[in-house]
Chains A and B, each alone.
Chain A
């Protein structure tokens, strides 16, 4: 991941944890373009992969739909409508073409339901869920990780890290059920299913976010411990700065880089975790749609859902890369130092 950074110079502090980028701004643009190209290839590869897999599904969907007493003419017509009489690359091409100009239809009879409006309806719900979960995760894990690092080995640290191991081990559907029972049924504070009220987001976001915060607080703690050992933190303390200022401005800001990296890597986990959490809370998002489309064997819907999942994942990775640059002052002001 770091090997494509061009130059290693420019670090004057003698401890370059992050390879410093070149001063040439064009190289940055090039890097983004190259990443975009790679992302496009990955998306194409994912679509191709899904199409290959879908063609391997045991049992002909047309036969399943029409039964074995169907007329050969009808079978042929349906196969034609579902692109099943075309070679695989052509199926992928048709799919991408129709997806791009918004004409993609469900591959289930009567072939009328358009995919794009449906996607526009479900995808934002999943994005909203993912964003809210990330907010929960960051809000929980940053303070927890920082406090643990400051009191490393103490009671707070051991309790927080014990909770973190527990959080990694508890499957999201169990956590979700416990939250439903506690806040939804016993206390009756929050809605437990669907997306009808504004507060509906709370429990799903907590479920997904708390699971994520377990890993994130471990990373935050490790990153903070690394930074707190550095000379510039000692120097800041020596200058008589308040402990809060030392921790927040001089340590945490530098610890953000590895935290951001892990957040980006976790994007896939958040998206697939959303599939499970959506089922627990009957949240009508992309994951629920994907699972029902798989059950109904709606090929185009499945392909579209996967494509959107993959595109979102790749976009998040790209954004992480940019955020990484933004969080590192050496990138923002070439030649300047933190």
Chain B
């Protein structure tokens, strides 16, 4: 398979009309982002306010999505939870994407011993079920948001590294790299100025799928009680809290659960559409 041309060809893929999947995806993702951004405007009562008299109730005038443990407002919990879940997901994707891309590109460009060593590390990490490693890291690091992001990144970077490495291996033999080298550009300049810009398309696609994966993983960890610190309204933690009253107040667990599902669905749709446009490998 021939690698991508150095400059993205300005042809059909970008001028194709957006499919219905992309539209649904965009809608869901923007709804979720709006919920996170405008959380203070959406909610009718502060997320932490307790009122024991109205615990585990269905929708009422003051609490449109009902109340949960100790009478906290479900809507405000979910709205502020969007900040936590999206924020952790974005941070995990940024950190793992940056680290993975640079590591993979450098390893692929350098080749030789470094490359062989990096591939060993990647193989070992791949031989270990991802969430299991994250379970351990969070258990070890204790419940904290930076620890959680680190745990999510511990295996996620591998995907970016493999992708970047494969692309660099194909790109570095191309004429424009040779020309840059002939003009006296050093390895770091070649990687940063000439190779990385060509990687961005596939990496962006990978990141669009990486974000929902990170949100799901964070939700799973928080659901297991190994994620965010107690009291932080992450969606996974909210589902965990709601589980105790699944029978008499199912909405308390199901609403944050649905928020996770819809957000992840939106990003998956968006990723599919983006892949059709940006990924030259089709």
Contact = CB atoms under 8 A, between A and B. Distances in A.
B131 interface: yes
Interface in B218-273: 219-220, 223-226, 236, 239, 243, 246-247, 250, 253-254, 257-258, 260-262, 264-265, 268-269, 272
B89 interface: no
A268 interface: yes
B71 interface: no
A313 B124 CA distance: 13
Interface size, B (range): 35 or more
A276 B136 contact: no
Contact of B254 (A42, A177, A302): A177
B159 interface: no
Interface in A178-206: 178, 180-181, 185
A177 B246 CA distance: 8
Nearest to B221: A276
Contact of B264 (A42, A169, A180): A169
A168 B236 CA distance: 16
Interface size, A (range): 35 or more
A166 B262 CA distance: 9
Interface in A293-322: 294-295, 302, 306, 309-310, 313-314, 317
A171 B260 contact: yes
A46 B124 CA distance: 9
Nearest to A276: B220
B129 interface: yes
Contacts of A81: none
Contacts of B254: 174, 177-178
B210 to A, nearest CB: 14
A314 B269 CA distance: 33
Nearest to A265: B126
Contact of A291 (B224, B246, B258): B224
User: Taking each of B124, B127, B225, B257, which has the highest tally of chain A beta carbons within 10 Å of its own beta carbon?
Assistant: B127
Contact of B261 (A46, A174, A310): A174
A184 B220 CA distance: 23
A310 B135 CA distance: 14
A173 interface: yes
User: Taking each of B129, B246, B254, B262, which has the highest tally of chain A beta carbons within 10 Å of its own beta carbon?
Assistant: B129
Contacts of B212: 169
User: Taking each of A50, A57, A58, A171, which has the highest tally of chain B beta carbons within 10 Å of its own beta carbon?
Assistant: A171
A275 B261 contact: no
B257 A169 contact: no
B224 A275 contact: yes
B280 interface: no
A177 to B, nearest CB: 6
Contacts of B236: 171, 173
8 contacts: A42-B128, A170-B265, A171-B219, A174-B261, A268-B132, A275-B224, A276-B224, A310-B128
Interface of A: 42, 45-46, 50, 53-54, 56-58, 165-166, 168-174, 177-178, 180-181, 185, 267-269, 271-273, 275-276, 279-280, 290-291, 294-295, 302, 306, 309-310, 313-314, 317
Q: Which 9 residue pairs of A and B lie closest in terms of their CB atoms, listed nearest first?
A: A268-B129, A174-B257, A272-B131, A169-B265, A169-B264, A294-B139, A53-B140, A170-B261, A42-B127
Interface of B: 124, 127-132, 135-137, 139-142, 212, 216, 219-220, 223-226, 236, 239, 243, 246-247, 250, 253-254, 257-258, 260-262, 264-265, 268-269, 272
